[in-house]
Amino acid sequence: MSSKKPLTVKCPTCGKKLYWNELEKFKPFCSERCKLIDLGEWAMESHRIPGESELGESEDSNDSFFH
């Protein structure tokens, strides 16, 4: 018999603990709400992956897609 404890993680948005298993459909988030909050933070550039931009500095400061 296996007596392993289920893996628990904290939701990156609200910190609520949840089990890491196939029943948690929004993992690593606890809910769709927390998932959408995180997505919005990426869209507003509150979250960023550190490193050099691949765009030139002048391109990086202006959104050249819309110009």
Half-sphere exposure for 25 (CA within 13 Å, toward CB): 2
d(CA 25, CA 48): 25
- CATH number of the domain to which 33 belongs: 3.30.50.10
Q: Domain for residue 21, yes or no?
A: yes
Long-range contacts of 45-54 (CB under 8 A, 24+ apart): none
Contacts of 35 (CB under 8 A, 6+ apart): 13, 26, 29
Q: Domain for residue 39, yes or no?
A: yes
Q: Domain for residue 38, yes or no?
A: yes
Per residue of the chain (67 residues), give pLDDT as tens.
Answer: 556 888 999 999 999 999 999 999 999 999 999 999 999 999 998 888 888 877 765 555 555 566 5
Structural domain tally of the chain?
Answer: 1
d(CA 31, CA 37): 10
Name residue 26's amino acid: F
